[in-house]
Amino acid sequence: MSATVQTEKREFQTEVKQLLHLMVHSLYSNKEIFLRELISNASDAADKLKYTALQDDNLYQGDSNLAIHIEADKEAGTLTIRDNGIGMNQEEVIANLGTIARSGTAEFLKNLSGDDKKDSSLIGQFGVGFYSAFIVADRVEVFTRKAGTDASAGVYWASTGDGEFDLGETELEQRGTRIVLHLRDDEKEFLDAWKVKGLVRKYSDHIAVPVLVKDEKTVPAEGDDAENKEPTTEITWDQANTATAIWTRSKGDISDEEYQEFYRHISHDFGPASTWSHNRVEGSLDYTSLLFVPEKAPFDMFNREQSHGLKLYVQRVFIMDEAEQFMPMYLRFIKGVIDSNDLSLNISREILQQDKTVSALKAALSKRALSMLDKLAKSDAEKYQSFWDNFGNVLKEGPAEDAKSSDAIAKLLRFATTHNDNAVQNVSLSDYVERMSAEQNEIYYIAADSHQNALGSPHLEIFRKKGIEVLLLSDRIDDWLMSHLNEFDGKPLRDIAKGELDLGKLEDETEKLQQKETDKAFEALTLKIAEVLKDDVESVRTTHRLTDSPACLVVQNHDMGAQMRRILEAAGQSLPDTKPVLEINPEHPLVQRLNSESNESRSADLISVIHEQARLAGGDALKDAAGYVRKINKLLLELSSTEK
């Protein structure tokens, strides 16, 4: 400590205590990641100072040469990482070092397992890289002063990772942050300069500020009486990284490993990127972009309020983290940077939201991201399937948010279908269209609250009989998706649970003639059922869509789908009253028995039971479950009595 410090003891949040305990007592196969995380944090601090100083050059306080210094003290057993970036005040120290993953501590801890590889990945996923210092250190000290404040505004923080930390004020001549790691006895390998330099080159070569490593070399004495002289120690500060922004380099000069390390740097994800796209564009727009698709989804992926976006640079000057204006919400999983020459250096968030150039860049980057995904789908089906399993439900938001890109998004969608034996969503709309017969002119789908309920829907019966493939939709967002995705490849998408079923050329004239004759023969019965159920259904008609079930409920074409209605009702939304249509299967023995039933009381019970079975098959709850059971029991007793 450079000055006497008066400190007070404070406790970490309960979640932080648990995390630190796991880090201190768990063995990680990749301990060296701590250095990458601390260097990345220091780099971010330098970037933030550059941006802030655009408005106030006095923040540099005469020191505009930003750099990161790493120094080992073998006698003291400490490794120090120091930057002259933006620094922190006491409030920021408490917020950043006394809490973790403020939006998801509980979820983070729920996923920690003790598995080295998995937990290491989660550390980056939840943005808690600073605490990786405790993997190698039994005590960590932080000295920091916010740029623009006096030397007396320094803050001191220290912890041994035991659930408490010391916090106090200290005098610091230099702005920025200095982190001192008191290494454990078995981690002293990180005190060797060559080891540190190697780790910097391996993990942080792309960092845009110089990373300088202190190196002490023994220089033998020279001259005639050199053998009588003691050797001297020469101290140098060697730059261990190239300090060149990776996106400014030629793609041919960048290795896959360098791309992956840069992805880890900007995303704080310990896992690799699934794919990436690096492009330089000149013309009406002048910009460079480097976009990445993560391999795994973060814990807060479905929180639309969570900040997201790209790192924004203007002429290589850092402007802001998570500039969401350049990537639509449905592509919020995309990580990367954009560096443009067409935006003003004094740009503000408000200007960003209104600038026409920003809108043009957003459209271009969205197109680039979708093209990147399309390329992945065509080149590596297995890797794309993994992407879909992680991010598919987010991508499904696209057609509603970005109608202009609807066709491109539709090509990337994947579905489960009746041609699969499982619930895996791995069939594209292009695959479906390829398998369609020449007579089929519509793409058929059904939505339900689970894959099993979709697969067991009575609406599928005629399609199974004729061997027609149907998309099975069971995600909560699917009804919303289909309300904005009307066609694909010129073929309309049709909900088979809506409106009257017309299979067109898939039915022959004989079948259609038989259907008309059946309609007439059961006209009296449909009118009778409609009268009994007038409070529950809009109308009753015979149908040819059923082969095994006695009846089904059909939503009218202009009404909201049953699945979407259930979701909105469960969320407390008030919806207009609508009634479905009851379709009966004239070939079913139960319907035929009803048609010949002369006992009015028994007829009314049969009608009620058939209707309520149709509700159950459609995924709806019964209005009067006890009444339904009584009617079933009554009918069973009457039937058993008749047989005797």
Q: At a CB cut-off of 8 Å and minimum separation 6, what does 22 contact?
A: 112, 114, 119
Nearest to 51 by CA among 361, 323, 362, 356: 323
- The two structure tokens encoding residue 53: 């100083």
pLDDT tier at 420 (50, 70, 90 boundaries)? Answer: confident
What pLDDT score was predicted for residue 113? 53
pLDDT tier at 495 (50, 70, 90 boundaries)? Answer: very high
Q: How far apart are CA 15 and CA 163, in angstroms?
A: 10
pLDDT tens digits along 357-391: 888 999 999 999 999 999 999 999 999 999 999 99
What pLDDT score was predicted for residue 18? 63
Instruction: Of 9-13, 401-405, 617-621, give the lowest mean pLDDT range.
Output: 9-13
Which DSSP symbol is given to 231?
A: P
Instruction: Of 202-216, 296-310, 590-604, 623-637, give the lowest mean pLDDT range.
Output: 296-310
83 close to 46: Cβ distance less than 8 angstroms: yes
- The answer, yes or no, to whether residue 425 has pLDDT greater than 90, is yes
What pLDDT score was predicted for residue 422? 86
What pLDDT score was predicted for residue 352? 64
Residue 182 DSSP SS3: strand
287 close to 340: Cβ distance less than 8 angstroms: yes
Average pLDDT over residues 183-193: 94
Could you tell me the strand order of the sheet in which 335-340 lies? 273-281, 287-294, 335-340, 310-314, 317-323
Domains of the chain: 6-220+235-239 (3.30.565.10), 246-381 (3.30.230.80), 401-505 (3.40.50.11260), 509-555+574-643 (1.20.120.790)
Instruction: Of 96-105, 266-275, 303-312, 630-639, give the lowest mean pLDDT range.
Output: 96-105
Q: How far apart are CA 380 and CA 385, in angstroms?
A: 9
Torsion of CA 487, 491, 496, 497, to 10 degrees: 30
Average pLDDT, the chain: 85
Average pLDDT over residues 463-477: 93
Average pLDDT over residues 140-160: 94
pLDDT tier at 27 (50, 70, 90 boundaries)? Answer: very low
pLDDT tens digits along 431-468: 999 999 999 999 999 999 899 999 999 999 999 999 99
What pLDDT score was predicted for residue 104? 40
What pLDDT score was predicted for residue 4? 56
- The two structure tokens encoding residue 568: 């909105």
* Predicted TM-score of the model (pTM): 0.72
pLDDT tens digits along 236-261: 999 999 888 889 889 999 999 999 98
pLDDT tens digits along 585-595: 999 999 999 99
- The answer, yes or no, to whether residue 162 has pLDDT greater than 80, is no
Give the chain's count of helices (H) and strands (E).
22, 22
pLDDT tens digits along 321-364: 788 889 999 999 999 999 988 876 555 555 566 678 888 999 99
Average pLDDT over residues 487-514: 87
- The two structure tokens encoding residue 422: 């499982």
| Bridge partner residues of 444 (DSSP) | 494
Phi, psi of 471 (to 5 degrees): -75, 135
Average pLDDT over residues 151-166: 89
- The two structure tokens encoding residue 498: 């809506």
Nearest to 466 by CA among 418, 398, 528, 514: 418
- The answer, yes or no, to whether residue 26 has pLDDT greater than 60, is no
